[in-house]
A and B are shown apart, each in its own frame.
Chain A
């Protein structure tokens, strides 16, 4: 049973560029959430996708956007990168309306903006 997989594992981008991160949820899960974890801090909720739509959103600017595909996989896009966007980006999957309520996390994508 594959867990949550994220790609790439590491990424270096230049300020002002755009980046796309990818996530495949755990088998049987239909909901994907994205989190940003800055160094030395707890994960901060960015947004959540369910049925290919954004269901909830945290306090992040519109530069952060996402997408969910029919196979439940998801992308996180960040435009006009700032130095402060450097962080570990975590994807979590859950099953809405059933199963156990804990979120399963991927290993994350380490984004460095220079």
Chain B
């Protein structure tokens, strides 16, 4: 069965500092991987996705993520965060042949001025 682990429930970081949000997944088949962002009282917005090919994927708002198949990881990074990046971030996995998306528990990113 699929599962997603986000090791850090809360990540505080100073403005303009780099950040990495960690995500590990388990699945017995090939998968699609996603990062979504959720601002307070809003739905989920897709940040980026890994479907196949290059293991480094770039998304919106300067975020990028690297897929590592051997470590079953898909960590999210940004070289310099802004106050506006304060939000909840969810890693998600979807098996190629099914539409169900499984989410991790989320990481709350707080950017400190």
Contacts and interface: CB of A to CB of B under 8 A. Distances in A.
Nearest to A40: B106
A45 B102 contact: yes
Contacts of B103: 35, 42-44
A112 interface: no
Interface in B3-41: 4, 32, 34, 36, 41
Interface residues of B, number: 24
Contacts of A108: 42-43
Task: Report which residue of B32, B42, B43, B49 has the largest number of chain A beta carbons within 10 angstroms of its beta carbon.
Answer: B43
Nearest to B96: A101
A52 to B, nearest CB: 15
A56 interface: yes
B32 A101 contact: yes
Interface string A43-67: 1110010100001101000000000
A106 interface: yes
A41 B108 CA distance: 10
B56 interface: no
Interface in A1-52: 4, 31, 33, 35, 40-45, 48, 50
Interface of A: 4, 31, 33, 35, 40-45, 48, 50, 55-56, 58, 90, 92, 94, 96, 100-108, 110
22 contacts: A33-B100, A33-B101, A35-B103, A40-B106, A42-B104, A42-B106, A44-B103, A45-B101, A45-B102, A48-B99, A50-B99, A56-B100, A58-B100, A90-B43, A100-B49, A101-B49, A101-B51, A101-B99, A102-B34, A105-B36, A106-B43, A108-B42
